[in-house]
């Protein structure tokens, strides 16, 4: 199952992006309002100072767009500075258009509403204090709006119209931008939930690994005892050919168990040393398939490998081989559900990614397509602990494990970034 990803998180950068879009809308709206009042309604407003203020805001919008494109992290204080610049320019424009009596004075609340969803308590307090100071100043220091033709009633009608337009603008701005911030909150909650589930899964893996280490240590003694007794039993029953064959088979199985234990110890040492193995992709896959054929000799394996991908030199990290073997083993189990032994492996390069695709001819995944819960055997659907371990390995290597249904069964794709696993 493909893990959810989120590029958008609630915080200063999200608010910074919202302010950039809001600034563009403000420039368009302010320019339209000033031109309508000066040219169409013939109001005697200070046109030049207003256009200068809008021009300064446009220049600042260009700078903010450039800053947003930079890879440097955006701090909270930087976002507050941008809010302060927007507030000062808005206060400058309101100063020449009636001050606090202008119905658009309510626009000072927009930065506070947006900051409340993305800033800390101190940041929101600073933005609110700045907006409050601007409002208090505009109560006493402003240029009155000229009264339109028609006297007092005409001025009141214009004020009512301005209040209506301001209500529509506030509703649209708050509805759109707060919805964007709320969406970022939901995405962050999903990310937190995914991290929590991953932590629980890793705890289960650690518990199983601890039990496996203890079992390996305890099994070494009885295996050594059996390895000592089996040759003596063969010498005591030299004349019994059937028993000798059975004892030889048992001796081979004991040696195989000891080999598996030694591989477990070697894998643990490699995991601790974090020393990757330098090997080509073709050699890596060849070794995995040899091991798989020993474990599942009945499987009918088909390999498809790009020539360009085969020459890639891998810095094979510990665990990748076991992840691929787990996927192949699960595929063999799934194919056996439909009385088939077919398993297919495709290795290819997709840009900067290496894709290892394992296909089977089983019943496929369920409609939910979710991975098995760690520790619960679900072999009837081709899932088990091996798939969870493979997903953990993919995440540790900054890759992903996706599952899907193909025409003949299920398909599991292990995508790994070459920047992490390929040798320079």
Of 273, 298, 314, the domain-final residue: 273
DSSP state string for 212-230:
HHHHHHHHHHHHHHHHHHH
268 three-class SS: helix
Neighbouring residues of 300: CB distance < 8 A, sequence distance ≥ 6: 341, 342, 343
Of 232, 256, 273, the domain-final residue: 273
Residues 334-346 have a mean pLDDT of 88
268 dihedral zone (left: phi>0; alpha: psi -120 to 50; beta): alpha
Least confident of 39-43, 344-348, 382-386: 382-386
- pLDDT tens by residue, 51-73: 899 999 999 999 988 988 888 88
37 plus 180 within the same structural domain: yes
Residues 96-122 have a mean pLDDT of 82
Q: Is the residue at 2 inside a domain?
A: no
- What is the DSSP-derived secondary structure letter of residue 45? -
How far separated are the first and last CA of the chain, in Å rounded?
A: 30
Q: Is the residue at 284 inside a domain?
A: yes
pLDDT at 383: 44
Residues 23-48 have a mean pLDDT of 82
pTM of the model: 0.46
Between residues 133 and 26, the one the model is more confident about: 133
Q: Let me know if 88 is exposed, middle or buried by CB neighbors in 10 A (0-12, 13-18, 19+).
A: middle
350 plus 213 within the same structural domain: no
Residues 79-105 have a mean pLDDT of 87
- C-alpha separations of 408 from 151, 340, 356, 363 in Å: 82, 11, 18, 8
Q: Does the pLDDT of residue 329 top 80, yes or no?
A: yes
- pLDDT tens by residue, 126-177: 889 998 999 999 988 888 877 665 544 445 566 677 677 777 777 777 777 6
User: CA 184, CA 118: separation in Å to the nearest integer?
Assistant: 10
User: CA 290, CA 297: separation in Å to the nearest integer?
Assistant: 10
130 plus 223 within the same structural domain: no
Average pLDDT, the chain: 77
Confidence of residue 286 (pLDDT cuts 50, 70, 90): confident
Of 273, 303, 336, the domain-final residue: 273
399 three-class SS: coil
47 plus 177 within the same structural domain: yes
Q: Does the pLDDT of residue 373 top 80, yes or no?
A: no
- Answer for the pair 417, 397: CB distance below 8 angstroms, yes or no: yes
Domain total of the chain: 3
pLDDT at 312: 83
Q: Does the pLDDT of residue 376 top 50, yes or no?
A: no
30 plus 101 within the same structural domain: yes
- pLDDT tens by residue, 187-229: 877 877 877 777 766 666 666 666 666 676 677 778 788 878 8
355 plus 213 within the same structural domain: no
Between residues 231 and 81, the one the model is more confident about: 81
DSSP state string for 299-324:
-EEEEEE-HHHHTPEEEE-TTHHHHH
Q: Is the residue at 99 inside a domain?
A: yes
pLDDT at 208: 61
In angstroms and rounded to an integer, the radius of gyration of the C-alpha atoms of the chain is 35
Least confident of 78-87, 173-182, 260-269: 260-269
Percent of the chain clearing pLDDT 70 (strictly above)? 79
For residue 180, the number of C-alpha atoms closer than 13 Å in the C-beta half-sphere is: 20
Domain span at residue 69 reads: 12-196
């Amino acid at each position: 199952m493909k893990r959810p990803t989120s590029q958008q998180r609630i915080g200063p950068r999200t608010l910074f992006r919202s302010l950039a879009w809001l600034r563009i809308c403000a420039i368009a709206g302010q320019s339209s309002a000033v031109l309508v009042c000066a040219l169409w309604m013939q109001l005697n407003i200070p046109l030049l100072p207003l256009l200068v203020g809008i021009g300064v805001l446009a220049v600042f919008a260009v700078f903010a767009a450039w800053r947003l494109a930079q890879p440097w992290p955006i701090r909270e204080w930087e976002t507050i500075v941008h809010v302060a610049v927007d507030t000062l320019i808005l206060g400058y424009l309101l100063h020449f258009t009636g001050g606090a009596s202008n119905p658009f004075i309510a626009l000072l609340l927009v930065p506070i509403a947006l900051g409340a969803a993305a800033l800390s308590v101190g940041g929101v307090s600073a933005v609110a204090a700045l907006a409050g100071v601007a409002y208090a100043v505009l109560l006493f220091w402003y240029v009155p709006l000229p009264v339109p033709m028609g006297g007092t009633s005409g001025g009141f009608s214009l004020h009512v119209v301005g209040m209506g337009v301001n209500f529509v603008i506030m509703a649209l701005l708050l509805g759109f931008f707060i919805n964007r911030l709320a969406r970022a909150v939901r995405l962050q909650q999903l990310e937190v939930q995914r991290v929590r589930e991953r932590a629980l899964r890793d705890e289960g893996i650690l518990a199983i690994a601890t039990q496996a280490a203890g079992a390996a240590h305890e099994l070494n003694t009885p295996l050594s005892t059996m390895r000592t007794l089996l040759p003596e039993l063969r010498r005591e029953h030299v004349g019994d050919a059937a028993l000798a064959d059975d004892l030889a088979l048992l001796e081979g199985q004991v040696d195989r168990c000891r080999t598996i234990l030694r591989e477990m110890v070697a894998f643990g040492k490699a995991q601790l040393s974090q020393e990757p193995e330098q090997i080509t992709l073709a050699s890596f896959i060849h070794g995995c398939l040899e091991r798989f054929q020993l474990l599942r000799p009945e499987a009918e394996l088909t390999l498809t490998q790009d020539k360009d991908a085969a020459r890639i030199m891998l810095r094979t990290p510990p665990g990748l081989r076991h992840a691929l073997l787990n996927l192949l083993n699960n595929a063999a189990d799934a194919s056996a559900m439909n009385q088939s032994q077919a398993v297919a492996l495709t290795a290819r390069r997709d840009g900067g990614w290496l894709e290892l695709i394992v296909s089977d001819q089983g019943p496929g995944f369920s409609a939910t397509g979710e991975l098995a819960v760690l520790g619960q055997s679900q072999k009837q659907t081709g899932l088990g602990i091996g798939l969870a371990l493979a997903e953990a390995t993919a995440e540790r290597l900054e890759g992903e494990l996706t599952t899907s249904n193909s025409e003949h069964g299920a398909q599991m794709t292990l995508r790994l970034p070459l920047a992490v696993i390929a040798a320079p």
